[in-house]
Chain A
Amino acid sequence: MSEPSHDIIPGVDSAHAEIQEPGIGLFADLVKVIGTSTKTNDKLEALANYFNTAPDKDKVWVIAIFSGRRPRRVVNSNQLIAWCIEMANIPGWLFGECYHTVGDLGETISLLLPETHDPLTSTAKPLHYYIEHFIKIDKQEEAIRKQFILDSWKEMNQSERYVFNKLITGSFRIGVSQKTMVNALARVTTLDASVIAHRISGNWDPSTVGFAELLDDDVRIIDHSRPYPFYLAYALDEAPETLGDPNDWQVEWKWDGIRGQVIKRNNQLFVWSRGEELMTDKFPEYHILNNLLPEGTVIDGEIIPSVDEKPLPFALLQTRIGRKNITRKQLQDAPITFFAYDLLEFEGEDWRNRPLSERRTKLEEIVQPLNTPILLLSPVVQFNTWTELAEMRRSSREQGAEGFMIKKKSSAYQVGRKVGDWWKWKIDPLVIDAVMIYAQKGSGRRSNLYTDYTFAVRDGDKLVSFTKAYSGLTDKEFAQVDAFVKRNSIEKFGPVRTVKPELVFEIAFEGIAASNRHKSGVALRFPRMSKWRKDKKVEEINTLDDLKKMLEVYGTKS
C-alpha cells in the first residue's frame, strides 16, 4: 500500500483551520467593562471594540439587548434557584442569605455554582447560540430546558454564567445609553449616528435580521412600523428669562402620561411608546385613527387617559398597562386618548428638520378637521411675559399637568436628549415630613446596604406607614442611615428590619391618589427622599390628617 497522500483527505485540514467563533465570554467581558467603567468614552471604546471582533449574529443580539429588545424570560426564578441549589449542593436558606447579600439573582447563582472546568480555557459557545437555542426549546418540557441550562452552566466560567443568567431571567439592564451604542456603531460602520438610531428602532427581530441587513448602507428594507427616535428635553434649572424673547418660544403643558408616536403607513396603524414598545394592541381606542389619518403620517405626543379633553391621573393609565384583555369597564373608566405635540412625517416625507412653527401649523391642519376625542391637539399656552407664564405654572396641578414644555419655534426635531432648544419646566413636588420605620437592603449597587425604607406619618399616638422610598440620598447619607439601621434594629422579619422611629425625612412626590391597598388610604406617585431633616424630631412630623388634606386638594380617586 502506498503512503497516504495529503491530497486524499482534502478539507480535513481546512476544517481544523476554521477559526472558532469567539464565545459568550467576549460579551461577558464587554458587560464587565460597561458595568465598572465610570466614563462614557471607555464604554464607547469597549463597544466599538466588541463590534469589531464579535460574530455578526452576536452583534445583532447585542444591539437588540442594549436597545431594550432583550429576550423574554424563559425560566422562572424558582426553577433556576432550585437547579442552582442542586448543583451547588447547599441548603435553600443559605441560598437566601447569599441572595440578600448580593442583591441580584443571576449574579448570586453565578457565584454559587461550582467551577467545573479550568477558568482559563473557556469552552463556552457564542452568545447567539445560547439565545437562539433557548427560543427553540422555549415551549418544551421542563426537563429539556433544565438539561440545557445545566449543560450551559458547566461549560461557562463565572462571568459568562452571570451574563447568561441575566439573559435567561430577562433581567438585563445595562449601564449604557442607546446613544453610546449608536455612536459606537457609527465608528465601525459607514453610517451616520442618526441613520443608525433610526435603523435600530422599530419592529425587527434579532433572530432573523442579519447585521448586514440592519446596518449596511445599500439595503433598503422597508419597515413601515419604524418610529423616529424621540427628541427629549432637559430640565430648565435657570429662570425662564434666560431664554430671551418669549415670542421665540412655544409653550405647552407637560402631561403625565406615556410619551408615544402614532404612525400611519401602508394603510396600517402603529403606536409606539418612548420605551420603544409597540402598544398598538393595548389601546383599541386608537384603531379608528387608521381610517382617519392620512397615509404617511407620524405624530409625536402623549398617551394619556382623558375625558372632555381633560387628562385623568396617571394611576388610571396604569390600570391599562400590561393588560392583555381589556374589559368594557376599563375602556369606560380610563378612555385612552392621544395628545398630539408634533408632526414628524407628512405624506411619507421626513419633516423633522423643518422648524417647529411649520410642523405645528401642519399638525393643526391635520388634527383639527378629524374632530375626534381620541386624537387631540396638546394646546399651545398663550402668554406674553415669562412672569405671566410663571404665574400660570402654579395652576399646573389643576390642569392635570406637571409643568410646562418650552420649545423654540425655530427648532428641528432632534434625536435624543439635547440641550438648547427644548426645555421642561416642572412644578415643585409635593412634600411631607415622615419618619423611617422599616428598612430593607437594596439591590444591585446597593446590595449589602439598607437603602429601601418605609415611612410613616403620625396618627395620634400611632405611626401609620404610607410610602416606601429608595432614592434621593447621597451615597454618604445612605451609609450613615445604613449604620443607624444596623445599630437600631428592633425586630427582624426576613430581610426587613423594624427600626427605632427616629430619623425624619422630607418625602417629595409628584401626585397623590386614594388607594385601598394601603393602610394609610393613599398612594403616592414618584416618592423619594428630598431632604434628611436632621433638625426635626419624630414628634414634629406630619400627620395622617395632613396627608388626607393633600388628597382632598390634589388627589384623584382611582
Chain B
Amino acid sequence: MPLIDFTDKGLYCAPGNFYIDPWKSVDHAIITHAHSDHARWGSKNYLCHTDTKPILQLRLGENPYQTLPWGEPIVINGVTVSLHPAGHIIGSSQIRVEYRGEVWVVSGDYKTENDGISSAFEPVPCHTFITESTFGLPIYRWKPQPEIYADIQHWIRKNQADDKASVIIAYSLGKAQRVLQAIAEVTDKIFVHGAIWNTHEVLVQAGWKLPVVRRVTPEVPKEDYRGSVIIAPPSADGTPWMKRFSPYSVGVCSGWMQVRGNARRRNVDAGFPLSDHADWYGLMDAIKATGAQKVFVTHGFQAAFSRYLNENGIEAAEVKTEYGNDEEDAPANVKEGEPEESAVEDINENVE
C-alpha cells in the first residue's frame, strides 16, 4: 500500500486518513495553495499555511481552518506532516508526509525562481516526489524575472509616452500581486479590477505591504486612466468593461506567452512570459534536489515529462488529477474555458 494513493476524490494518505488538494468533499483536506483547482469548497476541515488562510476564507467562506507555519511538523494519526515553501504564490506550500521512515512530498504548483513575494522554493529530500508538469517541455525556459520586469516597465513607459493606459492581464491571485512590484517601480497610478481588489484587500488586512492601488469603479473619471496601469484578470480581457480605459494597450503576463502563436491567438499587444510555474529546467533541478527515486507526474505535459525522466534514470509515472484549470494551467482556451471562480465577481463588475 503506497503512502499516498491516487483516488477519485484526490490524493489520499490512508494511514493519516487525510487528503491533499481533494476535488471532492472530504473530512480532512490539506491545501497546498489557494488557487481554485487545488482549494475546493465543501470539505469539513482544512489545514493550510498561515498565509493561505485569509485567502481561503475569502474564496471558500468560513470553515474550520487549521494553520501551520513552514517547517513545523505535526503528527496526524501517526503520520508526520509539514509544510515547505513552494514559491508559487503567497502561502503556497509543498506537503511533506512521513510515515515509518518513508517520505513523500506533494509539490502542488511550484516555481524555483524567487519572486520576492511568495517565499523561495525549498527542495525537500524525499523518497517519492509528486510534481506538476505545467511547463514540462524544454521549450519553456524562463528569462530571469528582472529581465521580464524590465520589458514590462519599458512597455508601460512607451504607452505613457503615447498617452495610453497599460492594461495588464494577470491572474487575480498570485500573478497580480507579483507584477504589482514591477509596476510600482515606474508609476503610482495603478488601478485594479474588482476581482483583484478583493484579494488585494484581504492580503493588506493580513499585513502584506503591497503598493497602493485604486479599484476600477464607474465613479472613476475617465481622465484618471490616462497613462495609468490597470491590472485585470483574464476573464475581463476583450469585454466591454475595458472600453473606459481607451486609448489603451493590452499586455498579458503568462508563461504561455513564451510561444508566439499563443500571444497572437490572444490578439494582445504584448505578451510577457512571466510564469508562477517552474520551467523545464526548474522542474528538473527541483526533482534532482529531492533525491527522489520515484516521481509521480501530475497536470501538464505528463507523458513527455515522465518519459524523459524514465529515460534518464528516474522512475516516473503519469497520474491523472483534476488540477490544471487555473489561468496558467489552461493553455489554449484561457478565455473560453470553464468559468473561473472570479468570473462571478467579474460579471458584477461588468454590469454597471
Bound together, the chains give a CA A103 to CA B260 distance in angstroms of 10
What is the bound-complex CA distance between A87 and B259, given in angstroms? 20
Q: Which residues of A contact B335 (CB under 8 A)?
A: 476, 479
Pick the contact of A447 from B138, B262, B268, B311 — CB < 8 Å? B262
A449-B332 contact given A36-B269, A103-B261, CB 8 Å threshold:
yes
Give the segment of B54-62, B139-147, B165-173 that binds chain A: B139-147
Is B270's CB within 8 Å of the partner chain A?
yes
Chain B residue numbers with a CB within 8 Å of A94 are: 137-138, 304, 308
Please give, as numbers and ranges, the residues of chain A lying within 8 Å of B333 by CB-CB distance: 449, 479, 482-483
Cα separation A530 to B22 with both chains bound (whole Å): 43
- Tell me the total A-B contact number using a CB cutoff of 8 A: 94
Is A98 a contact of B139 with CB atoms below 8 Å?
Answer: yes
Per the bound structure, the CA–CA distance linking A444 and B259 in Å amounts to 9
Distance between A362 CB and nearest chain B CB, rounded to angstroms? 47
Q: Is A16 in the interface zone, CB < 8 Å from B? A: no
Instruction: Judge whether B72 is part of the interface by a CB distance below 8 angstroms.
Output: no
A residues 287-340 touching B (CB-CB < 8 Å) = none
The answer to whether A101 and B259 have CB atoms under 8 Å apart is yes
Are B311 and A90 in contact (CB-based, < 8 A)?
Answer: no
Q: Nearest CB to that of B261 among chain A residues? A: A447
Verify if A416 is at the interface (C-beta below 8 Å from B).
no
B142 to chain A, nearest CB (A): 11
| A97 interface neighbour in B264, B304, B331, Cβ under 8 Å | B304
Q: Are A37 and B304 in contact (CB under 8 A)?
A: no
A445: CB under 8 A from chain B? yes
Residues of A with C-beta under 8 A to B268: 36, 38
- When A35-B260, A476-B336 are in contact, do A101 and B137 touch as well, CB less than 8 Å? yes
Q: Which among B137, B140, B141, B304 has the greatest number of chain A C-beta atoms within 10 A? A: B137
A108 in contact with B269 (CB, 8 Å): no
Partner of B261, one of A91, A93, A98, A445: A445
Residues of B within 8 A of A88 (CB): 138
Residues of A within 8 A of B336 (CB): 475-476, 479-480
Interface size class of A (residues with CB under 8 A): 35 or more
Which residues of the other chain, B, contact A107 by a CB distance below 8 angstroms?
259-261
> In the complex, A93 Cα to B147 Cα: how many Å?
31
Bound Cα distance from A480 to B267, whole angstroms: 18
A119 within 8 A of B: yes
The distance from the CB of A408 to the nearest CB of chain B, in whole angstroms, is 36
B50 interface residue (CB < 8 Å to A): no
Main secondary structure of the interface of A (DSSP, over half): helix
Cβ-defined contact, A448 with B260, below 8 A = no
Chain B: minimal CB distance from A50 (Å): 16
Which residue in chain A gives the minimum CB-CB distance to B263? A36
Cα–Cα distance between A2 and B270 once the two chains are bound (Å): 61
Cross-interface CB contact of B259 among A38, A448, A479, cutoff 8 Å: A448
User: Is there a chain A Cβ closer than 8 Å to B258's Cβ?
Assistant: yes
Contacting A at CB under 8 A, from B269-287, are 269-271
B226 to chain A, nearest CB (A): 19
**Measured CA separation A181–B269 after assembly (Å):** 20
B258 contacts which of A91, A103, A111, A479 (Cβ < 8 Å)? A111
A residues 321-377 near B (Cβ < 8 Å) are: none
* CA of A256 to CA of B33, assembled, Å: 60
The reply on A65 being an interface residue by CB < 8 A is no
In the complex, chain B residues whose CB is within 8 Å of the CB of A452:
none
Answer yes or no: B70 CB below 8 A from chain A CBs.
Answer: no
**Cα distance, A53 to B267, chains bound together (Å):** 28
In the complex, whether B337 has a CB less than 8 A from a CB of chain A is yes
B329 to chain A, nearest CB (A): 13
Question: Does B265 reach chain A (CB closer than 8 Å)?
Answer: yes
Q: Are the C-beta atoms of B147 and A108 separated by less than 8 Å?
A: no
Are B259 and A102 within 8 A (Cβ)? yes
- Least CB distance from A230 to B in Å reads 28
A57 at the interface (CB under 8 A from B): no
Report how far A64 CA is from B261 CA in the complex, Å.
25
Q: How far is the CB of B243 from chain A (nearest CB, A)?
A: 16
Name B284-321 residues within 8 Å CB distance of A: 301, 304, 307-308, 311
Q: Which residues of A contact B261 (CB under 8 A)?
A: 102-104, 107, 443-448
Distance between A460 CB and nearest chain B CB, rounded to angstroms: 36
Which of A36, A102, A443, A449 is the one whose CB lies under 8 Å from B270?
Answer: A36
> Whole-angstrom distance between the alpha carbons of A119 and B146 in the complex?
13
List B contacts of A482 (CB < 8 A): 332-333
Which residues of chain B have C-beta atoms less than 8 A from A30's C-beta?
none
A131 contacts chain B at the CB level, 8 A cutoff: no
**A232 at the binding interface (Cβ < 8 Å):** no
Q: How far is B267's CA from A476's CA once the two chains are assembled, in angstroms?
A: 13
Q: Which residue of B lies closest to A42 (CB)?
A: B269
CB of A464 within 8 Å of the partner chain: no
What CA separation (Å) do A42 and B250 show in the bound complex?
A: 14
Evaluate contact between B260 and A91: CB separation under 8 angstroms. no
B332-A448 in contact (CB<8A): yes
| A-contacting residues, B129-158, CB 8 Å | 137-141, 143, 147
What chain B residues lie within 8 Å of A483 (beta carbons)?
333, 337
Contacts of B307 in A (CB 8 A): 93
B-chain residues with CB within 8 Å of residue A446 when the two chains form the complex: 261, 265
Most chain B CB neighbours (cut-off 10 Å) among A94, A119, A483: A94
Whether the pair A475, B139 counts as a contact (CB closer than 8 A) is no
Closest residue on chain A to residue B307 by CB atoms: A93
Contacts A107-B259, A448-B331: A112 and B265 contacting too (C-beta < 8 A)?
A: no
**What's the Cα separation between A120 and B147 when bound, in Å?**
9
Instruction: Please give me the residue from chain B that is nearest to A107 by CB atom.
Output: B260
In this complex, what residue of B is CB-closest to A103?
B261
Shortest distance between the CB of B263 and any CB in chain A (Å):
6
**Residue numbers in B under 8 Å from A35 (CB-CB):** 260, 263-264
CB distance from B291 to the nearest CB of A (A): 23
Contact with A along B308-352 (1 / 0, CB 8 A): 100100000000000000000001110111000000000000000
Residues of B within 8 A of A98 (CB): 137-139
B6 to chain A, nearest CB (A): 20
> Among A91, A101, A103, A476, which residue has the most Cβ atoms of chain B within 10 A?
A101
Is the Cβ of B258 less than 8 Å from the Cβ of A37?
no
Given contacts A35-B260, A107-B259, A112-B138, contact A97 B301 (CB under 8 A): yes
- Minimal beta-carbon separation of A383 from chain B (angstroms): 43
> In the complex, A177 Cα to B246 Cα: how many Å?
26
CA gap between A480 and B260 in the complex, in Å = 21
B186 to nearest A CB, angstroms? 19
Cβ 8 A contact of A112, one of B139, B259, B304, B331: B139
Q: Which of A91, A101, A449 contacts B311 (CB 8 A)?
A: A91
Contact check, A108 vs B143: say whether CB atoms are below 8 A apart.
Answer: no
Report 6 cross-chain contacts, Cβ distance below 8 Å, ordered by A residue.
A88-B138, A97-B137, A98-B137, A104-B261, A445-B264, A476-B336
The 6 A-B residue pairs with the shortest CB-CB distance in the complex, in nearest-first order: A479-B333, A479-B336, A111-B139, A447-B261, A445-B264, A97-B304
Name 13 extra pairs, CB < 8 A, besides A36-B271, A448-B262, A479-B336: A38-B268, A101-B259, A107-B259, A111-B258, A112-B138, A444-B260, A445-B261, A448-B261, A449-B265, A476-B336, A479-B337, A482-B332, A482-B333
Point out residues on A near B: beta carbons under 8 Å. 35-38, 42, 88, 90-91, 93-94, 97-98, 101-104, 107-108, 111-112, 115, 119-120, 162, 443-449, 475-476, 479-480, 482-483
| B residues whose Cβ falls under 8 Å from a Cβ of A | 137-141, 143, 147, 258-265, 267-271, 301, 304, 307-308, 311, 331-333, 335-337
